[in-house]
Amino acid sequence: MNSLLLALCCFVFYLVAYHTYGRYLAARIFRLDDRRVTPAHRLRDDVDFVPTAKDVLFGHHFTSIAGTGPIVGPAIGVIWGWLPALIWVLLGPVLIGAVHDLGALVLSIRNDGRSIAEVIGKTVSARVRRLFFVIIFFELWIVIAIFALIIALLFNIYPNSVLAVWIEVPIALWLGYRVRVKGGNLLALSVVGVVLMYGAVYAGGYLPFRMPPLFGLSPVLVWMLALFGYAAVASVLPVDRLLQPRDYLNSHQLLIAMGLLAAGVAVARPVIVAPAYVAHPAGAPDLLPFLFVIIACGAVSGFHAMVSSGTSSKQLSRESDALFVGYGSMLFEGGLAVLVLIACTAGIGMGIEGRDGAVLTGSSAFLDHYGSWSAANGLGAKLAAFVEGAANMIASVGLDRALAVTVMGVFVVSFAATTLDTATRIQRYVVAELAEGAGLPGLAGRWPATLIAVGTAMALAFYSGDGKGAMALWPIFGAVNQLLAGLALLAVISYLIRQGRPVWFAVPPMLFMVVITTWALVASGRQLWTEGNILLAVLNGLILLLQGWMLLESGLLMARRPAPSAEGPAELVVGPEEGF
């Protein structure tokens, strides 16, 4: 299979879907109207509610939803062959993922920027809302833990990436200050910021940093301590101080990395060396249902609903921007997943160093990372397959391969960091909500809620410990993540029923996601219990219980089919768009 032709067909498919199905949903179903005042203007506080230019918000939203999800998922999912993974990352975003993201964003902006859980409370019931908040807590608990672990693993594998990743923090703070306070030109300052960051990428090749063991902890665990400290601070800062400018810088980094990958595919035209389909990889769970939960963010992800309703809805300046930010970002993420698939199934075949030091090419290189579920070194090896394969393709355009490895290592880690700090911020909101509902307002403050969010995730991350532990955690994350996507679609359906709008496009995806995640959770729980992993098995069972309870309540309430209610009148949007 020619990888260049494959990539071109996929990108054309996404483009056509955006301008047909996406525009249909925006105009005919959700009826986006710029005359309505968005929460960013009406509730503006310059901390969370900040009207933001469409292109800036796209960068913040995309980097927040993407993280390393569309990298890790496909990098694991190709173990069943490239064809099933490709079909899912093509059809999933268009028919389910982008519909889910756009719907969650619209629901939130029509409800004062409230989170998807709060909207469910309004459209379904208060008890369902509380159940949904608990499920979100578990989702974010796993997200924060596993992405901190991913970053720590990558720092350990690619010490050349450390300098550039950490220096991005002061660069982002400087960029935010210059734009917000000094009124500097956003584009010009962004160019300077990107140049400084890539200067650090180049310097990192000469200044690698390997974390030593400290206090009896392995380097991976020491890195996790540092990362949780960063996430705690980043989550309490105003959103336009660090998160927005960092994500905006990362959006440029993404465009550069995707441009390099696309150029590498065009020049190298690597042949896909992975098999099209592998029925039973050694030690791997069954393709059905696990392909659909392993590959989450590249196709559909419940975490996106939390970003859409947790941060992006508070920054959307005009309703019409929701199509570009919500639907467009998901398709763009699908495009990234396609490039990851090509890197892992074709780029890797151009040559890698095997575990015995010999240079492997073709199918031998693929099998070195994908011969079994835990081949090489678990999750770290699967991520390395992408980094090494991508570096091979990029080197074909003339970039030094060692530098290309550093560029891709920084790229992966930077996006994992955006997910880490965004998830921690959203978890702070969730903890605060749960604390207030439990009559514990003292735990709802910014710092107490943040410490709970970080502390619980740290305990889970330390429990998982290493790359092979993360391979056990990722399927659970995927299942809970996809469960949230199904429940968010349920909220969209409930909203549309109340508005007297069609729901034919959302019901099949919702049912599919609920069924597939229930199947995966049952299978995972049985396997974990058999292996003696009691903590994760109990977590699995608890999530299943909460899911069943919530679906039962929601079904009974929706069966009553309340009379349609009209939305509030449209009003003219006032106030300027801003950058940071």
**Secondary structure, 3-state, 329-371:** HHHHHHHHHHHHHHHHHCHHHHCEECCCCCEECHHHHHHHHHC
Cβ contact 273:349 at 8 Å: yes
Question: 573 falls in which pLDDT band (50, 70, 90)?
Answer: very low
Question: 378 falls in which pLDDT band (50, 70, 90)?
Answer: low
pLDDT, tens only, 468-508: 556 677 888 888 889 889 989 988 998 898 889 999 999 99
Q: For the purposes of burial, counting CB atoms within 10 Å of the CB of 342, is it exposed (0-12), middle (13-18) or buried (19 or more)?
A: buried
Question: 377 falls in which pLDDT band (50, 70, 90)?
Answer: low
- The angle at the Cα of 225, spanning 115 to 298, to the nearest 5 degrees, equals 45
pLDDT at res. 216? 87
Q: What percent of the chain clears pLDDT 70, i.e. is strictly above it?
A: 93
Cβ contact 292:516 at 8 Å: yes
Stretch 231-254: mean pLDDT, rounded?
84
For residue 544, pLDDT beyond 80: yes
> Is the backbone of residue 282 left (phi > 0), alpha (psi -120 to 50) or beta?
beta
340: number of CA atoms within 13 Å, CB side? 33
Stretch 438-449: mean pLDDT, rounded?
90
Q: What's the whole-number average pLDDT of the chain?
A: 88
pLDDT at res. 569? 47
Is pLDDT larger for residue 111 or for residue 560? 111
Cβ contact 299:101 at 8 Å: no
- The angle at the Cα of 227, spanning 166 to 474, to the nearest 5 degrees, equals 115
pLDDT at res. 87? 97
What domains are defined for the chain? 3-159+210-235+267-558 (1.20.1740.10)
Is pLDDT larger for residue 422 or for residue 22? 22
Q: Which residues neighbour 240 within 8 Å (Cβ) at sequence distance 6 or greater? A: 46, 50, 176, 180, 580
pLDDT, tens only, 123-158: 667 777 888 888 889 888 988 998 898 899 899 989
Q: What CA dihedral angle connects 305, 311, 317 and 320, to 10 degrees? A: -10
> Which candidate, 462, 383, 369, 449, places its Cα nearest to that of 415?
383
Stretch 20-29: mean pLDDT, rounded?
97
Q: Which residues neighbour 205 within 8 Å (Cβ) at sequence distance 6 or greater? A: 160, 402, 403, 406
pLDDT, tens only, 60-102: 788 778 777 889 899 999 999 999 999 999 999 999 999 999 9
Task: Measure the CA–CA gap between 102 and 488, rounded to whole angstroms.
Answer: 11
pLDDT, tens only, 43-52: 999 878 989 9
Which residue is listed with tokens 């969650």?
Answer: 104
pLDDT at res. 36? 94
For residue 25, pLDDT beyond 70: yes
Task: Pull the structure tokens for residue 244.
Answer: 């927005």
pLDDT, tens only, 170-224: 999 999 899 888 888 887 898 899 999 999 999 998 999 999 999 888 999 999 9
Question: 381 falls in which pLDDT band (50, 70, 90)?
Answer: confident
Q: Which of 290-299, 426-435, 570-579 has the highest mean pLDDT?
A: 290-299
pLDDT at res. 572? 45
> Which candidate, 270, 338, 302, places its Cα nearest to that of 485?
302
Question: 574 falls in which pLDDT band (50, 70, 90)?
Answer: very low
Q: How far is CA 298 from the centre of its chain?
A: 8
pLDDT, tens only, 163-183: 999 999 999 999 989 988 888
For residue 571, pLDDT beyond 50: no
Question: 577 falls in which pLDDT band (50, 70, 90)?
Answer: low
pLDDT at res. 376? 52
pLDDT at res. 476? 84
